[in-house]
Amino acid sequence: MARNKIALIGSGMIGGTLAHLVGLKELGDAVLFDIAEGMPKGKALDLAQSGTVEGFDAVLKGTSDYADIAGADVCIVTAGVPRKPGMSRDDLLGINLKVMKAVGEGIKQHAPDAFVICITNPLDAMVWALQQFSGLPKNKVVGMAGVLDSARFRLFLAEEFDVSVEDVTAFVLGGHGDTMVPVPAYSTVAGIPIPDLIRMGWSTQEKIDAIVDRTRKGGGEIVGLLGNGSAYYAPASSAIAMADSYLKDKRRLLPCAAWLDGQYGCDGMYVGVPVIIGEGGVEKVVEIELGDEAKAGFQVSVDAVKELMTACKALDGSL
């Protein structure tokens, strides 16, 4: 049986880590695509050589030619540029929007049947633009942010409660980072909701609020410590969890930026909600009832995403 083919569009820090995970987890063969010429080839060769030691047989190929992604089962998109000093948000948006256009056209032409996971920031607007430019079915184009935000939330909660990360589940909604909306009532330790744990004296509301705040700023904390670039291990692991659920039809329920047409009062946009990912892509958007606080927080998130979409439309008339 042929191995799965996973195309990584953008072979920088996250792209390289994704390829390593694809090999280690034996998810399939990986194509590392980048506009930079030698770098993806060098990474592919280095990673293939790590496979000799690790004992995986994946074919890893570096390329700058979209033809090489032909027939990919999954495309994970990290292509773009990070914000540099002196660059406004609109400058960044303009550049990454053009990148999404090129990537969308490349995927449309060479891998129209793929499940596409976008990681490029600003996430919720870029995944929307990528779907529009590629014209792929909306349930086959999804954005990664919530899995990462909830992973950060879970880690901090596990540390606070002094329990295994395995037993902590966290529920987050909304846009990536600052506007994420954690829902403590649906976040648990082995099924015990956080509000109950507070009542049991395991923590205090103040401590949980501080953890929520740290989670929202989780990306910035790492950027500050690294001094150069942004997080890549946890973002790569998060996208791999989504790809794995699709390729193995696991039907995991994960928070992802998904296309909404009416759910949560949103129409024609992408924002972070719980979805089921299976062999059909995003098979279901799970609509939960939100309390007033979560509802208000979600609306702030939605408005922020809409503002970015308006800015994208002003930059590219075809949107």
Which amino acids are annotated catalytic?
176
Question: Residue 65 contacts by C-beta under 8 Å, 6 or more apart in sequence?
Answer: 33
Report the nearest approach of ligand TXD to the CB of residue 193 (Å): 26
As a dihedral over the C-alpha atoms of residue 131, residue 133, residue 136, residue 139, rounded to 10 degrees, the angle is 10
**Stretches 3-11, 162-170, 186-194, 296-304: which one binds ligand TXD (CB under 6 A)?**
3-11
* 184/235 with CB nearer ligand TXD: 235
Q: Kindly state the number of chain residues that form the binding site for ligand TXD, as judged by CB under 6 A.
A: 31
121 touches ligand TXD (CB under 6 A): yes
Identify the residue among 9, 30, 31, 111 touching ligand TXD (CB under 6 A). Answer: 9
Q: State the Cα–Cα distance between residues 114 and 281, nearest whole angstrom.
A: 9
* 97/276 with CB nearer ligand TXD: 97
* 181/189 with CB nearer ligand TXD: 181
Place of tokens 């050589």: 49
Identify the residue among 231, 266, 275, 282 touching ligand TXD (CB under 6 A). Answer: 231
* 156/232 with CB nearer ligand TXD: 232
**Stretches 11-19, 183-191, 204-212, 293-301: which one binds ligand TXD (CB under 6 A)?**
11-19
Give per-residue burial for 194-228: e unless 16+ CB within 10 Å, then b: beebbeeebeeeeebeebbeebbebbeebbeeeee
258 touches ligand TXD (CB under 6 A): no
Q: How many Cβ atoms are within 10 Å of 249's Cβ, its own excluded?
A: 12
142 touches ligand TXD (CB under 6 A): no
* 123/168 with CB nearer ligand TXD: 123
Q: State the Cα–Cα distance between residues 244 and 307, nearest whole angstrom.
A: 32
Identify the residue among 8, 27, 99, 282 touching ligand TXD (CB under 6 A). Answer: 99
Backbone CA torsion sign across 190, 195, 200, 205: positive
Report the nearest approach of ligand TXD to the CB of residue 2 (Å): 25
Q: State the Cα–Cα distance between residues 288 and 296, nearest whole angstrom.
A: 15
Identify the residue among 24, 59, 102, 319 touching ligand TXD (CB under 6 A). Answer: 102
35 touches ligand TXD (CB under 6 A): yes
148 touches ligand TXD (CB under 6 A): yes
147 three-class SS:
helix
Enumerate long-range contacts of 284-291, CB under 8 Å, 24 or more apart: 285/258, 285/260, 286/253, 287/263, 288/183, 288/186, 290/173, 290/183, 291/183, 291/185
Cβ(163)–Cβ(203) under 8 Å? no
Number of residues in the chain = 319
* 189/245 with CB nearer ligand TXD: 245
* Footprint of ligand TXD (CB under 6 A): 9-15, 34-36, 78-82, 99, 102-103, 119-121, 123, 144-145, 148, 176, 229-232, 235
